[in-house]
Structure 1
Amino acid sequence: MASLLTNLLTGLTPPPHVNLVEYDGVQYKWGVFVFRPALFQHELYLLAGVLVYVLFVTVGVSRNKFNAQLPVLEKQFSKPLGKTGLTRDGYSDYFNFSTGRRNVTSLHTVFTLQPRHDLFQWVYQFVRTLIDLHFRPTDDVTLDFVLAPTTLNQDFVWAVVKKDELLSIKDDRWDLTFTKTSESPALPPTLSVMSEFADVTDNLLKPAIVAALSDPKVLPYFRSLSVTDQPRYRPEAPLAATSRKKHVILSLSLPSGDAEVTANLVSVIFPFIDSLPSVNLRPETRTKLKKTREELDKSLKADAEREKKEELEQAAEDKKAAKRRAEEERIAKLPAAEQQKILEKERKRQVRKTQGKGVVRK
């Protein structure tokens, strides 16, 4: 055993370094120390790679900084930042929570920046842009305004969306599946309206918001603006009255240069929110919207009950299977004669069961 361990350690031990006596390259001496660069060519490449990676991370982290939205929030909210300021998740995702404004319960701001600090993820995204023509990584910000209960007394889903986003927005936003897509002559041709009814669009598409969305400086960075009474993702069951909230959600791409461009659009959203209490839909529109939500609650309730029933049936099946396995294990421990008696008894029971099913009543 000792010899085997010795042979194993000998095989794992690297060979000793052979210091060549004949060396005619550049070398540096300091006391008893001698440094010969020609003997460290591979280490030099490794060090250069590490330095490039560190430089990439340093530059990427320094570029993923921003504060253009903060002055707007400071003007509109009494508490524009959370207790600890921006919450950071790594070097590309930032979150903020603002409170203290009329008609708004809270504002959740989410910054999703490009992974400039991660060389490998950056290379992956670059290669993907060459393969997937619809994939365009950008710096994005989403402002989710949770409206005060008295701000909007109507239930509907409405949005203005950049046409480039139409291919994917319904996959990310379940609430927008309620809407129909249409064009509006008041908006630029690159934008579409998603609304449940035209009456909703007539109430919301006011000159101020149309002018802001039509600004040539803002248009390249605008992604979507929505007003919704439904959650972003489909709920598993009907929401309780206390859980129902209305949102105004603004999604933008952050410009790499003049960030004040998007800040100007953000500032326009606040008077837009202040105008929501004046929304007054036609009675027939309100009736249709109410009916749609009643049918939705019935569908969600039915789906929840069906899923619960399936879970109970699955639990019963699992219980039967566990009981059957326990019985098989118990029988396997019995003597062969006892096992034979039990098997014979089970065979007769199955025969009687089969014969009972074969009887035809006249």
Structure 2
Amino acid sequence: MGSLLTTALAGLTPPPHINPVEYDGLEYKWSIFVFRPALFQTEVYLLAGLLAYILLITVGISRNSAKVNKWFNAYRPILEQQFSKPLGKTGLTKDGYSDFYNFSTGRRNVMTLHTVFTLKPRHDFLQRFYQLARTFIDLQYRPKDDVTLDFRLSPGALTQDFVWAVVAKDELLSIKDDRWDLTFTKTSENPALPPSLSVMTEFADVTDNLLKPQLIAALNNPKMLPYFRSLSVTDQPRIRPDAPLPASSRQKHVILSLSLPSGNVEDTFDLINAVFSLIDSLSTVNLRPETKTKLKKTRDELDKTLKADAEKEKKEELEQAAEDRKAAKRRAEEERIAKLPAAEQQKVLEKERKRALRKTQGKVVRK
């Protein structure tokens, strides 16, 4: 055993470095120390690679922080004007090096506003390479620097239940995969909006109630359009729930999603101000009686479907648990029999054979 360990250690031990006797390159001497740069070429390349990697990380972190701070500092006066508590306890919070968020509260018709920044992982070379490679495979995949303003409405700010959105057409192929609530809607064109935008709504008179002049003007701003992704008003969660939501857990949101402007951040300000006006106008939404009836029917049917799916899933879980218990009991019995003497095992197996035979005969008689 000792010789094997010695052999293994000897194999792992690097050979001793032997300085060449003849050396005519650059050499530095100090006391008993001698440094010959030509002998460390590989180490120089490794060190240069490490320094380049650290530089890329530092530049990526700095660039992400600069982009977020530039937009947020310009947007902050709007927050301070609209909210009594525009910032969280720590202000703009960083979660890693590509995710930032802010929490605002203290405004009529709005319980909370979460401003969430999701940027490209410029600090992570491997993730950036993965994103680049994926763009060649998935033509719909386009990583962007995003900012999402998620307004959670106060109770009573919107008395109607519906889902409605204005979406950039280049987002239509993927948005329903990310937003379950938008699967309730149908997509249509609207002459009041630019050709690059589509309306997603359950019923037409919802659009008639929400598209006010200020919002139409903001959505037609050509400087804003390159950064617009979607604006939605919804009474449903973005991810499909596992069961019907109790009334106390139901929330209504207005969600604005933008690409983070790379140039003049003020290009999106008119739209953001229009969203605040939209929120204040939601209490005046007055839908036709037949629309209200259809919306209620849709949600009642949804609750029934969610309840049925939840009960089915629970039943399947109980059946699986029962099967697992039977399997565990069967394994325990087999292990017990395996420990018995051969004669006892033969008796048990014969008993099991006769029991199985009686069950088979009983089934034949019943038929």
Q: Is TM (by shorter chain) over 0.5?
A: yes
Q: Which amino acid in 2 is paired with 1:195?
A: T
- Shift in Å, 1:301: 0.7
> Which of residues 124, 149, 152 is equivalent to 1:143?
149
Q: Which residue of 1 aligns with 2:85?
A: 79
For residues 262 and 90 of structure 1, the distance between their equivalents in structure 2, rounded to whole angstroms, comes to 26
Q: Which residue of 2 aligns with 1:251?
A: 257
Q: Which amino acid in 1 is paired with 2:338?
A: A
For residues 289 and 126 of structure 1, the distance between their equivalents in structure 2, rounded to whole angstroms, comes to 43
Please say if residues 102 and 115 of structure 2, whose CA atoms lie closer than 8 Å, have aligned partners that are also in contact.
yes
Residue 236 in 1 paired to residue 242 in 2?
yes
Q: Which amino acid in 1 is paired with 2:13?
A: T
Residue 29 in 1 paired to residue 35 in 2?
no
The answer for unaligned runs of 5 or more in structure 2 is none
- Shift in Å, 1:149: 0.5
- Give secondary structure in 2 for the equivalent of 1:109: strand
Superposed counterparts of 1:1-362, under 5 Å: 1-65=1-65, 66-67=68-69, 68=71, 69-359=75-365
Alignment coverage as a number of residue pairs: 361
- Shift in Å, 1:360: 6.2
For residues 249 and 243 of structure 1, the distance between their equivalents in structure 2, rounded to whole angstroms, comes to 18
For residues 136 and 108 of structure 1, the distance between their equivalents in structure 2, rounded to whole angstroms, comes to 24
Determine what percentage of the aligned residue pairs are the same residue.
Answer: 76
For residues 360 and 319 of structure 1, the distance between their equivalents in structure 2, rounded to whole angstroms, comes to 29
Closer, same or farther in 2 for the Cα pair 1:164/1:33, shift >3 Å?
A: same
- Shift in Å, 1:347: 1.1
For residues 59 and 257 of structure 1, the distance between their equivalents in structure 2, rounded to whole angstroms, comes to 19
Q: Deviations over 1:111-147 (max 9, x none)?
A: 1001111122112222322333222211001111000
For residues 251 and 156 of structure 1, the distance between their equivalents in structure 2, rounded to whole angstroms, comes to 19
For residues 120 and 319 of structure 1, the distance between their equivalents in structure 2, rounded to whole angstroms, comes to 45
Please say if residues 215 and 271 of structure 2, whose CA atoms lie closer than 8 Å, have aligned partners that are also in contact.
no
For residues 242 and 137 of structure 2, the distance between their equivalents in structure 1, rounded to whole angstroms, comes to 36
Please say if residues 254 and 262 of structure 1, whose CA atoms lie closer than 8 Å, have aligned partners that are also in contact.
no
Q: Deviations over 1:239-288 (max 9, x none)?
A: 10111111000000001222222234222211111111111101111011
- Give secondary structure in 2 for the equivalent of 1:248: strand
Q: Deviations over 1:163-222 (max 9, x none)?
A: 111111001100000000000011011100000000100000111111111101100000
- Give secondary structure in 2 for the equivalent of 1:255: coil
The answer for unaligned runs of 5 or more in structure 1 is none
Q: Higher helix proportion, which one?
A: 2
Q: Which amino acid in 2 is paired with 1:45?
A: Y
Closer, same or farther in 2 for the Cα pair 1:3/1:349, shift >3 Å?
A: closer
TM-score (norm: length of structure 1): 0.96
For residues 97 and 329 of structure 2, the distance between their equivalents in structure 1, rounded to whole angstroms, comes to 52
For residues 216 and 267 of structure 1, the distance between their equivalents in structure 2, rounded to whole angstroms, comes to 16
Please say if residues 64 and 98 of structure 2, whose CA atoms lie closer than 8 Å, have aligned partners that are also in contact.
yes
For residues 76 and 21 of structure 2, the distance between their equivalents in structure 1, rounded to whole angstroms, comes to 66
TM-score (norm: length of structure 2): 0.95
